[in-house]
Amino acid sequence: MIERLPHTLRSDALDNRERILDAARALFSTVGLDVPMREIARRAGVGPATLYRRFPTKQLLVAEAFADRLRACRTIVDEGCAHPDPWRGLCLVIEKLCELHARDRGFTEAFLATLPGAPDVAGREYTVKAVAGLARRAKAAGRLRPDFVLDDLILVLMANKGIHAGSTATRVMASRRFAALAIQALEACPRHAPLPPAARLAPNAPDGARP
């Protein structure tokens, strides 16, 4: 029994950690980053002392909760930067970042927020620097409008965050259409390619209001 005890404790500690992270992700997504740590502990079914032993600060909890999303974000940016056509690479970044953020609104909160003392919690610094280089190349190719600034990317993500729908699938559908509209607005010489299908966001609208 004594020999099994350390393994049991390690297993319990791991279970507590996963429950805390699951609870944090759920609450960050629905309530936002302002949710109290005590509420996260309550949702996870652990005491505040256990929560703070695993994650002494909210910044560390946010960083760990969104570690997978951060890796996905970096992969998207790296894929866009590696594209031989910088404009298409920039479009890919905008499209995929909007969809990633539409799938996890808590990550959007972390990406757009500035948490005191947080060490670039959502990888925003990396993303912005990489997109800056990609934008310069797209401008040099004559495809990105010359007055584009990096704040425009943040503006697009802020607007994308405002999409509300009854399901994740509908939110993603609306996000794809919004990203296409944003890309057309950013193109130096818009060609107005067909938009993705529209999401049904106004169920009470008369049929004649929908093309």
How sure is the predictor about 88, in pLDDT bands with cuts at 50, 70 and 90?
very high
**pLDDT of the residue at 128:** 81
Rounded CA-CA distance 200/205 in Å is 9
How is the chain split into domains, by residue range?
A: 5-65, 67-186
Q: Which of residues 184 and 115 earns the better pLDDT score?
A: 184
Beta bridge partners of 187: 144
Of the candidates 68, 67, 202, 86, which has an alpha carbon nearest to the alpha carbon of residue 138? Answer: 86
Regarding the domain delimited by 5-65, which CATH topology (the fold level of the hierarchy) does it fall under? Arc Repressor Mutant, subunit A (1.10.10)
Q: Which of residues 179 and 58 earns the better pLDDT score?
A: 179
Task: For residue range 160-177, list pLDDT tens digits in order.
Answer: 988 988 888 999 999 999
211 pLDDT exceeds 60?
Answer: no
Percent of the chain at pLDDT exceeding 70: 82
Q: Residues, the chain, total? A: 211
Residue 81 is which amino acid? C
pTM of the model: 0.77
Task: For residue range 173-209, list pLDDT tens digits in order.
Answer: 999 999 999 999 999 987 766 778 888 776 554 444 4
Q: Which of residues 5 and 149 earns the better pLDDT score?
A: 149
Q: Which residue has the tokens 């004594």?
A: 2
**pLDDT of the residue at 68:** 86
Q: Quote the tokens at residue 172.
A: 């993603």
**Residue 58 burial (CB count, 10 A):** 22
Selected from 1.10.357, 3.10.20, 3.40.50, 3.50.70, the CATH number assigned to the domain covering 67-186 reads 1.10.357
Rounded CA-CA distance 104/93 in Å is 16
